[in-house]
Structure 1
């Protein structure tokens, strides 16, 4: 019996150490990524002009979570949410683990992808990816492994980009003109129908049609489908094209400032001018990666003047909750209810 008890105690003592060992392996992987980045990009801990990007914490490798990788990156580089220079990209658990670092002072970046068993890195590359450099000769430069982090790094480095934008990028997993359009639509709404009574007022979005923009509102306004702040309704390409031809801009959805104390709301059907944004971004002559990067920067730079791209197609008022429900219900085209779309 004494031997049995002794064996159990030994096992109990070993289990925490075994768990710590698993975490230590992941911590070391994150530490290796951080050390490589600091050596290659030449920065010291706490440099606010250095951005760390990673999906660490989401991938699961051989049953092990990767959260400790994220701890290592923050502790060694000093990149944190508080400094607004850490972006933790949402990822499915079966996706590869990766790390990226960007030095805004030099325009240089490194990218690493962990091997399938997390024993090291199967990809470790360095390049200069600042917008000024890569857009100077778009035909000669190939994004390669930096295609994903290229727009994220450059939009982050833009002085007009608020960190809430980057939080939305964490949810959406990348930056594209669709997400950037959401940023300007939100700016326009906040300017036109600002929240004046925070205790009772909130924004509601009927995403009809839906596109990448809608992930921005979930983060910036906390209007999620689960909390009945957002309703998503699909439009066909034919419907979307017909509306664009009718109004000369792309219909971007229905936005409502709802007052819970009076069960009433004021709303706008907004439009977004993607043609103008594309024409300012060499969409007809540049490769896709280049004009999309340029378009993201063009849109972010319009943060103080969202009306350059956003317009009001229709204003309306809701007198009661029933009128709100009439727009949200299943099988209902809210644009038809509001008279924006015929039929």
Structure 2
């Protein structure tokens, strides 16, 4: 009996190294394929390593290859392209872990982009003309999105074209978390700048924000202020159009309740902010029938208008941007007021206190 147990143990131990070699070998196989795909992409964009005209976008570290995580690709991309996070030229784009690894190389001066993605047993590639005059047309958008890039077109094009105008780093960082640029994200960045200017924090104070309806500004606020739901600093909630109309000022609907809270001194001071979309559209040349297309995402103009608006807003000076934030109401109370605002109809709590 003892001899049989020993034999079984030896067989089991012998199988372990074989499994490990197979496991590691497969992992090395995908990294080799990734390096090869990256080399082909670099040859296609035809630009030297580390050139400031080059941007690399990837969901490495988020997207996976089968059961393998892909954080190692970030180092591969940096080594092969000469780009880096510190140079603002290698940006990680947040996606679901259920999405496969992808990467996009964008050459700013020509607009040439190469997108490649894991397809199951290797990497597929698509060459894209991302120059504004080509990609920001309904025909160009439709034709390109029908390829391998698919739904990721909005992510890689909106971030690339806005990166090209040299946006502020916190705004660029927010876009990588949000996985794209859109004017709603710009609005969140503008709200953050407005709060730091008009409602600055003092010792022992923190921002608490409630975004209602839950839209894109919430992600920018989370990145800039670290106001997350898990830490009790950021909340989002649905709210009906009838209530939004009730609390509107002209055409400006409320977008967020922003508060600075001091638990120690039991104080809360805040404001309700809206975003002047009419003014934004007038200043950026975006048509309302495009930005708010009745066809929604099926209309290429829905996406194109968002790319254009984000890039235009990213170029504007701070003082002009602050003019798009509209104060609808100021208020103050005890610290517990912030908890009440975050627990129901946030605007009604303020107006009816």
Alignment TM-score, normalising by the size of structure 1: 0.85
SS at match of 2:247: helix
SS at match of 1:141: helix
Match of 1:118 in 2: 121
In 2: Cα distance, 1:164 partner to 1:233 partner:
24
Offset, 1:87: 2.1
Match of 1:153 in 2: 160
Answering whether residue 305 of structure 2 is matched by residue 291 of structure 1, we say: yes
1:277-299 deviations in whole A, cap 9, x for unaligned?
23333325762232211111222
Q: How does 1:3-22 map to 2 (within 5 A)?
A: 11-22=15-26
Q: Give the 3 Å change call, closer, same or farther, for CA 284–273 of structure 1 in structure 2.
A: closer
Q: How does 1:27-46 map to 2 (within 5 A)?
A: 27-46=31-50
Q: Give the 3 Å change call, closer, same or farther, for CA 78–259 of structure 1 in structure 2.
A: farther
In 2: Cα distance, 1:95 partner to 1:157 partner:
26
User: Structure 1, unaligned stretches of length 5 or more?
Assistant: none
Match of 1:336 in 2: 348
What is the RMSD of the two structures over their aligned residues, measured on CA atoms? Answer: 2.7
1:33-55 deviations in whole A, cap 9, x for unaligned?
32122111122222343211122
User: Structure 2, unaligned stretches of length 5 or more?
Assistant: 291-300
Q: Give the 3 Å change call, closer, same or farther, for CA 13–130 of structure 1 in structure 2.
A: same
Match of 1:127 in 2: 128
Larger displacement relative to structure 2 (177-186 or 77-86): 77-86
Offset, 1:217: 1.0
SS at match of 2:318: coil
Q: How does 1:73-84 map to 2 (within 5 A)?
A: 73-84=77-88
Larger displacement relative to structure 2 (7-16 or 29-38): 7-16
In 2: Cα distance, 1:130 partner to 1:85 partner:
18
More helix as a share of residues: 2
In 2: Cα distance, 1:26 partner to 1:240 partner:
50
Larger displacement relative to structure 2 (83-92 or 140-149): 140-149
Larger displacement relative to structure 2 (100-109 or 279-288): 279-288
SS at match of 2:309: helix
* Aligned partner of 1:221 among 219, 222, 225: 225
In 2: Cα distance, 1:16 partner to 1:163 partner:
42
* Aligned partner of 1:97 among 72, 76, 101: 101
* Aligned partner of 1:167 among 169, 173, 176: 173
In 2: Cα distance, 1:241 partner to 1:133 partner:
39
Match of 1:312 in 2: 327
Offset, 1:201: 2.3
In 2: Cα distance, 1:87 partner to 1:238 partner:
40
In 2: Cα distance, 1:205 partner to 1:291 partner:
28
Offset, 1:255: 0.7
SS at match of 1:110: strand
Offset, 1:195: 3.0
Larger displacement relative to structure 2 (177-186 or 42-51): 42-51
Offset, 1:95: 2.2
Matched residue count:
329
1:160-196 deviations in whole A, cap 9, x for unaligned?
x123223322322222221121111111111112234
